[in-house]
């Protein structure tokens, strides 16, 4: 499955080149934007551009961002991924833009396609999250307000999951489910532990 393979490659990159990714983040955003725009025009000429327009590259970045939020904070892999989470979430959104643009245009010719609307809702939810991920804009918010806003990402992830299992081939839909269910499990366990520890702290 493409997304899983790309996500593994991106995890390895984050593990060994996290520092470089952070240092050159702006250059990476510019390159990602150029590549994303180019993919819309070159999809018929260059086969690999399909990976951008069909949403695989964007989703792979977003998968890592999702899983990082669900992993145990103290694990080595979580520590490594945490350092590039912001960069990957920005890159994920940039790379999902050609996909959204391509199909939003298609949606106008037939407004009845529910799977398109689900994808579009996820995408719209992600716009303010994307904008507020940039450090300069993030610093305008108090952390709890920013965090509260970013809780919307869970709704976006859930909608993305529903969107892709509707549109994917049955074999891929099973693979996406196999990935998403452990994420949901890990995330729920982590949130439950945080809830319990906060409760214990607040009880005299
Ligand atoms: C955050 C936003 C989105 C993500 C992460 C996303 C992700 C994906 C992925 C990974 C696939 C390929 C699934 C597979 O075949 O394995 C896909 C397919 C599809 N998506 Fe999205 N999508 C998003 C938004 C949208 C939007 C806004 C639309 C339309 C308005 C849309 C329409 C479609 C359609 C029509 C397909 C099936 C055709 C294809 O595989 O290219 N998506 N999406």
Q: How far is CA 29 from CA 48, 57, 115, 156, in A?
A: 19, 14, 28, 22
Contact between 186 and 70 under an 8 Å Cβ cutoff? The reply is yes
The number of domains in the chain is 1
| Residue to mutate (ligand 1; options 49, 55, 96, 101; most atoms within 8 A of CB) | 55
Residue the block writes with tokens 């990402």: 153
CA-proximal residue: ligand 1, atom 9 (nearest):
55
Buried b (16+ CB within 10 A) or exposed e, 125-160: bbeebbeebeeeeeeeeeeeebeeebeebeebbebb
Residues with CB under 6 Å of ligand 1 are 54-56, 58-59, 62, 96, 99-100, 103-104, 107, 116, 119-120, 122-123, 126, 160, 163-164, 167-168, 172
pLDDT given at position 166: 96
CA-proximal residue: ligand 1, atom 24 (nearest):
119
Express each pLDDT in 184-194 by its tens digit.
888 788 778 87
DSSP secondary-structure letter at 81? H
pLDDT given at position 188: 82
pLDDT given at position 204: 64
- Centroid of ligand 1 to alpha carbon of 43 (angstroms): 16
Buried b (16+ CB within 10 A) or exposed e, 96-114: bbbbbebbeeebeeeeebe
Domain membership of residue 127 as a residue range: 2-202
Three-state DSSP at 88 gives: helix
- Centroid of ligand 1 to alpha carbon of 164 (angstroms): 6
Per-residue pLDDT of the chain (204 residues; tens, 9 = 90+): 799 999 999 999 999 999 999 999 999 999 999 999 999 999 999 999 999 999 999 999 999 999 898 887 788 888 999 999 999 999 999 999 999 999 999 998 889 999 999 999 999 999 999 999 999 999 999 999 999 999 999 899 999 999 999 999 999 999 999 988 888 888 788 778 878 887 777 766
Nearest alpha carbon to residue 160 among 52, 84, 58, 73: 58
Atom of ligand 1 nearest to the CA of 113: 35
């Amino acid at each position: 499955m493409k997304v899983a393979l790309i996500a593994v490659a991106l995890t390895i990159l984050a593990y060994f080149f996290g520092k470089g990714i952070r240092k050159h983040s702006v250059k990476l955003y510019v390159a990602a934007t150029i590549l994303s725009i180019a993919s819309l025009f070159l999809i018929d000429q260059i086969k690999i551009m399909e990976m951008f327009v069909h949403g695989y590259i964007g989703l792979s970045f977003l998968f890592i961002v999702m899983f990082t939020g669900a992993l145990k904070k103290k694990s080595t892999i979580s520590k490594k991924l945490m350092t590039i989470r912001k960069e990957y979430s920005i890159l994920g959104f940039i790379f999902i833009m050609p996909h959204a643009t391509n199909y939003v245009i298609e949606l106008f010719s037939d407004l009845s396609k529910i799977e398109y609307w689900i994808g579009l809702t996820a995408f719209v939810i992600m716009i303010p999250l994307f904008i507020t991920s940039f450090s300069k804009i993030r610093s305008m918010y108090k952390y709890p307000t920013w965090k509260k806003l970013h809780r919307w990402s869970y709704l976006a992830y859930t909608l993305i999951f529903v969107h892709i299992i509707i549109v994917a081939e049955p074999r891929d839909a099973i693979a996406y489910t196999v990935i998403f269910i452990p994420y949901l499990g890990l995330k729920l366990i982590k949130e439950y532990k945080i809830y319990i520890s906060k409760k214990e702290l607040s009880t005299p």
